[in-house]
Chains A and B, each alone.
Chain A
Amino acid sequence: MSISANSLIEGLVEELEPVRTLKPKSGLAIVGGLTLFALIVVAATLGVRNDLMMGMADEMFFLRSGVLLMLGIATAITVVNMARPGVGKLSRGWIWALITAALFPLTAAIMSAINMPPVEALRPMEGLKCLAVSGIAALTIGGGLTYWLRQGAPTSPERAGWLIGIASGALGAAAYNIHCPFNDIYYIGLWFTIPVVISAVLGRLVVPALIRW
């Protein structure tokens, strides 16, 4: 061993303190807590959709909630596991959740090709509100995930950026989803997809620089 390596090791040993190992469940608790917080804020400020309040929610609400939560949870689990690296640990399960979620915009695109919906069906004003609220919720959740990952040793910062963006976008949209009263496929295919896409792109652009080590 070289003299410099020897003295480096002595220095590192000197400053050794006991550490608590990173637990993915703490990362998931942060994500779950922030999603719940966003959900409560949406419910308290904008209100819960009427049919849900009456216990008769439309089936599309359940489909949309399920797909968004599935995508958000699958990607968030992948992200928190990225904090603890290891050769052979690459996880691709989230891709299936993403493909499933893509069925909404895909169906909307096919339906539009068959029968172009009027602009009113896309409800631009309500859609922008959906985008803004989902985006704020996504920023909060994405901030928590990024904070969590900074404590770990992610070895693929770019992939982590995409995944944090997708997870926070999907969970942010899921939080807004309890207020959103619209059930048609055009609206969902457009306004619940855009927040996830924007969040993913922002995650890819912003997060890698914050988590490199």
Chain B
Amino acid sequence: MSADSITTLTNIRSHLLCKIYIPEYRINAGDTPFATNLLFSDLNRGNNITYDGHTYTGLGVLLGVTTSNSELRPSSSELTISISGIPNGSLGIVINSKLKGCSVIIYRVLCDGVTGEVLSLLEANPFARFRGFVNNYSLQEEYDVNSRTSKNTMLLICKSSLDVLQNKISGRLTNSVSEKKYFPFDLSMDRVAALQNTSFNFGVPKA
């Protein structure tokens, strides 16, 4: 397929691809962790898309991504990815894997408005829309009284890389607790608390 310019197209639609890299992925508690990518898109179920060697599973309306800003200058931003319809049996994966701090990339992919095929454009396609990290996550249960079953929604709160940089580790303080957090066996800061507001009678002759 030859590459088209986006300006020549009259009917296009866009979809989102989410890639979450999880360095410590566990299915059950106690399993040896392994690294994996969670790959999904908002295309309809069964319409998987392959990009950069990865296949993104279509979740359709089960995937939700809030809006994000696009600015010329780097700016801090936050968005939330929601994945609905998680069965109870899969909750263990969410709980046992280390989701916080995982890197997140969201791509926007442009498809033909009629055929749904990924467009081959002179411009890059897909292109990155958001890069950041999972800052926090939460689970919401939707209980169906009639069927007495529940489905769960996972919310991944993502912050942009700039936010993570601004959320700098506070650094070392001159006190024992802070020192031992980084160097557990070091005693050099142990007396700081005792020295606070202490004065010495320097030069006073001792009997």
A and B: real partners?
A: no
User: Could you tell me which B residues sit within 8 Å of A by CB distance?
Assistant: none
User: Could you tell me which A residues sit within 8 Å of B by CB distance?
Assistant: none
